[in-house]
Structure 1
Amino acid sequence: MDKEVDPHVLAVIDEMRLSGPRLTPVEIVAKMGVFDARDKPFDHAWLATGDNVIATIWAEHVNVGSGGRWFYLESMDVQHRAGGGTRAPNQVQRAKDRLALLKRTFDAGQGFRTVLQTNRVAIAELESNKSAKVSTRVRDDAEWHVASWEPDQLLAVLVRGPRGWEPSEEEIKAARARTSVAKADEPEAAEPVVVVADASPEEAQAAATDYVMRHFKGYGYKAEDVSGQKLGYDIEVSNAKGATLLRVVVKGTATGVPTFKLTSEENACSVREPLWRLLVVSEATSPAAQHKIFKPSEVSQAPGFEPSA
């Protein structure tokens, strides 16, 4: 949330927002050279044209060091959320993918490009609150780089601007406290045991459909539920001008509903319809619901997919 962002950082973001074109969060990433940005709206890092890496920088976690230099502590603990709690499998995979791209730039001695982002909910709830949405996303024209990579500390330090500067130990210590990035040897607090009741297939599907409708509408798109028409897809997504962008089949998995199948209509539509996509919502009935989009050629890779007999 804006109130969690350093005032200097927020002022720069506001200036970028007011001076740039009005684009959706996905359009910003797409215009930076990520052609499949619409298929990866929830990823946290992307590989763009020219082998350029683009990463999200959450402004709430940007720290301002000596000389006004910005830095960001990147946790290598892929299993746990920054706000506490265990990540869902798809959240773990996103964290691994992001670290792999950042490590790629570190090994090559290259910088990477970023989008600066603020959020509508507290940053600690980013991966646990179903209402979490982007508040502001802007392209940062300044290059970032990985200044240090310390697997033994489960920590990488990302720095904005020219090489040759790194935050001091005192600055890193203060940033750890501010952003809740734990040290590798710190014991974890015991988590409460939560008993989740099994969902029915109907409940999982209804929750997944609701999630997807809110997701696309939250990004400013029009989402129409056409599942009752048996067209081979459930939701048609279009932009403000009415142009159809995606025709999406929605499937939800949850406790008690670990798998799903495609119907004959959905299979047939995946072959003839170029805008057809499969969107799987994992943990659909829980606050940790997350999704991933698959092209027809990738359906067999979707978690929970069960081929029809």
Structure 2
Amino acid sequence: MDKEVDPQVLAVIDEKRLSGPRLTPVEIVAKMGVFDARDKPYEYAWMATGDNVIATIWAEYVSVGAGGRWFYLESLDTQHRASGGARTANQVQRAKDRLALLKRTLDAGQGFRAVVQTNRVPIAELETNKSAKVSTRVRDDDEWHVASWEPDQLLAVLVRGPRGWLPTEAEVQAAKARGGVPAPAEAAPAAAQAASPEQLQAAALDYVKRHFGGYGYKAEDVSAQQIGFDLEVSNAKGVTLLKVAVKGTASGLPGFKLTGEERTASARDPLWRLLVVTDAGGPAAQHKIYKPSEMSQAPGFDPLG
């Protein structure tokens, strides 16, 4: 809600809102190059044309640091809402998809484009109130970027404007006090860090099955057959789309190898893919898919295994 927004931030939002054409929240994103914006009105981030990432910035959580620099604390805990409590499966998936896109910009050394919005209900109710809708959404012409990414603290810092600036520790603590990141007690326990390889693989498989299931695909677990892949992904018509070898990594078990069957399948089957889940079983789990020719790019891949 407007009363929760820093006055400097609200002034910029009002100026952009009054100076531009009257567009709906979906139309704004569509005009920024998201062709399927109408099919994804509730997403938190989108991939636009030209491999540009667009992300929602909730104005209620924007803080203003030294020199008027805007920054935003991004929680890497996908399992819990900022206001406390567990997210639903759909909310978890949206949060994971958003983090994957933000991490993509960080890894590529790129910025991202933002839509800054206020909401009709208190920001703490954003994910629980069925009446929650966008009050105002504006396109921010200033580029944002991921300035820091700290998985051990379940926290990233997003900054508006040129690189080279970070908020002070005092500014970060003040921003935490305003909300936007779950309380430390609600963050997922570190048990996943000490997971066995078998537990890590089980968590990775569960994550991937839920991921594909969220898009309406069927992911059949065939890992027990040892045929060179773990999941056979098919659409609603039963057409096989991918044959996926799943590997999970975590800070305690950062590397993985391919089995002989997986190497054979990767060489002969055009549908074969390697899918690596980082922080498998943890709150910041995310994944990336690799073609056989791209496997060497996968973090933790042991080519001699």
Q: TM class, shorter-chain normalised?
A: 0.5 to 0.7
Tell me, yes or no, if the aligned pair for 2:75 and 2:180 is still in contact at 8 Å.
Answer: no
Tell me the amino acid that sits aligned with residue 186 of structure 2: E
Distance 1:86 1:169 in 2: 28
Tell me the amino acid that sits aligned with residue 69 of structure 1: R
Distance 2:235 2:90 in 1: 16
**Structure 1 partner of 2:276:** none
Distance 1:84 1:22 in 2: 35
Matched, 1:14 2:14: yes
CA separation of 1:299 and 1:58: change in aligned 2, threshold 3 A: farther
Matched, 1:60 2:60: yes
Q: Once the 2 structures are TM-superposed, how far is the Cα of residue 182 of structure 1 from its aligned partner?
A: 3.7
CA separation of 1:84 and 1:300: change in aligned 2, threshold 3 A: farther
Tell me the amino acid that sits aligned with residue 93 of structure 1: Q
Q: TM-score, normalised by structure 1?
A: 0.60
Secondary structure of residue in 1 paired with 2:103: helix
**Any stretches of 5+ residues in structure 2 without a counterpart?**
188-214, 217-233, 239-305
Distance 2:237 2:76 in 1: 29
Secondary structure of residue in 2 paired with 1:47: strand
Matches within 5 A, 1:109-258: 109-182=109-182, 186-188=184-186
Distance 1:120 1:27 in 2: 19
**Structure 1 partner of 2:267:** none
Q: TM-score, normalised by structure 2?
A: 0.61
Secondary structure of residue in 1 paired with 2:185: coil
**1:193-248 Cα distance to aligned partner (Å, 9 max, x none):** xxxxxxxxxxxxxxxxxxxxxxxxxxxxxxxxxxxxxxxxxxxxxxxxxxxxxxxx
Q: Once the 2 structures are TM-superposed, how far is the Cα of residue 181 of structure 1 from its aligned partner?
A: 1.8
Count matched residues.
194
Cα RMSD (Å) = 2.0
Tell me the amino acid that sits aligned with residue 26 of structure 1: V
**Any stretches of 5+ residues in structure 1 without a counterpart?**
190-277, 280-296, 302-309
Q: Once the 2 structures are TM-superposed, how far is the Cα of residue 85 of structure 1 from its aligned partner?
A: 1.2
Tell me the amino acid that sits aligned with residue 41 of structure 2: P
Tell me, yes or no, if the aligned pair for 2:9 and 2:59 is still in contact at 8 Å.
Answer: yes
Secondary structure of residue in 1 paired with 2:99: helix
Identical positions, percent: 80
